[in-house]
Amino acid sequence: MEQELGKQNVTFALEGLRAVLNRTDLPTSLEIARFYAENKYHEWWYAIPVGITENWFYQQNLNDYPESALKKCFGF
């Protein structure tokens, strides 16, 4: 990531990945499965599990995560 974005931007990029969990327009688990089956998924959706993985370094309790975000993460 540092090579692609530059050392000065890594912190901001990681914050952005963690923030994706708070978006209000995340697809439902059913939408993820349906679109993936139709090969119509959006690549930015991979930010959901990456955001949870990155956030795990700061919050290692599943109760701290929105249930909807966890369901979407496991949809992948």
What is the pLDDT, as a whole number, of residue 7? Answer: 92
**Nearest to 71, CA basis, from 16, 18, 17, 33:** 33
Residue 75 pLDDT > 70, yes or no?
no
Identify which has the larger pLDDT, 70 or 19.
19
Q: Could you identify the residue written with the tokens 């912190």? A: 11
Give the per-residue pLDDT at 10: 93
Rounded to an integer, what distance in angstroms lies between the CA atom of residue 68 and that of residue 32?
A: 13
Looking at per-residue pLDDT, the higher value among 43 and 13 belongs to: 13
pLDDT per position as a tens digit, 19-68: 988 888 888 878 888 888 998 878 888 888 888 888 888 888 878 777 77
- Each residue of 38-47: b (16+ CB within 10 Å) or e? eeebeeebeb
